[in-house]
Amino acid sequence: MKIVTWNVNSVNVRLPNILKYLNEYKPDVLCLQELKCIEEKYPLEALHDAGYESVQSCQKTYNGVSIISKAKGQNIDLNPVNIIDDEKRSIAATYHGVRIINFYVVNGQTINSDKYLHKLNWLDRASVYISEQLKLYPKLVVLGDFNIVPRKEDAYDFSSNDILCSDKERDALQSIISLGLNDCYNEKINESPYTWWDYRGGAFHRDIGYRIDLLLASKKIHKSIKKYEVNKDTRHKSWCKEQPKTSDHAPVMIEIENHI
DNA sequence: ATGGCCACCGAGGGTGGA
């Protein structure tokens, strides 16, 4: 079973890339962030034509998350982590007995901003939701764009005064992991950790990146992981000729044993 | 060159992303 997280930076602009990804990588579950569209504009038909189901939580212009899947999801939670009513940053559903929680964590902008406090509050709520879900679903994956680097090694330029890297947000991430989750990235096996590269300054070409797209798995899932990979080929302009403009994030995939 | 910001809204430049 292949499970993927991908911040696509507009689901409609990136639709050709998404369809190519489905056809080429054949994920069982593809979780998207930053849809940036209202429900009526979500490309449901194109996904159905490609043989996939979808559940989505949409809003105008900003945010938006969805889960695209071969099988229909069960016990769907739309926007379970919610502080500001119109922010759609979370969605969860169960596929073949595996609970998938898809987050687009608040960016936070700078550590002195109100948005940073909002990020920390949002992470507190997320932690409460995850702890509840872990009691209900021992086979669980929390994934998405966390906008936090777990370790210094996950940032090309690490500074504890900068957003993505600061102590309080990394502490919040660690307390979520401490609920009983494991980071699917394995430094002993997986070489280049980065999942996001700024559009500016040729950052991808120079490999100036950050690991902020994470998959966190409960113990039952974590011990059944066969593969973890960052699909960096999707960041090349030549990868999808129908849409050479790429997302600034690469998809991150885990493959787990089918029968766990 | 496997490259050099992008997408949103709305009609142009401001905003947010990370």
B8 nearest neighbour residue (CA to C1') = A61
Helix (H) or strand (E) holding A212: none
φ, ψ dihedrals at A153, nearest 5°: -65, -10
Rounded to whole angstroms, the Cα distance separating A60 from A80 reads 18
One pLDDT digit (tens) per residue for chain A, 260 residues? 999 999 999 999 999 999 999 999 999 999 999 999 999 999 999 999 999 999 999 999 999 999 999 999 999 999 999 998 889 999 999 999 999 999 999 999 999 999 999 999 999 999 999 999 999 999 999 999 999 999 999 999 999 999 999 999 999 999 999 999 999 999 888 888 999 999 999 999 999 999 999 999 999 999 999 999 999 999 999 999 999 999 999 999 999 999 87
Would you say the C-beta of A248 is within 7 Å of strand B?
Answer: yes
- Helix (H) or strand (E) holding A73, with range, is none
Is nucleic acid strand B under 7 Å from A145's C-beta?
yes
Whole-structure pTM value: 0.97
Distances (CA, A) of A207 to A98, A154, A211: 34, 12, 12
Closest residue (CA to C1') to nucleotide B17 in the complex: A107
Within 7 A of a protein CB, which nucleotides of strand B?
2-9, 16-18
Residue type at A68 in one-letter notation: I
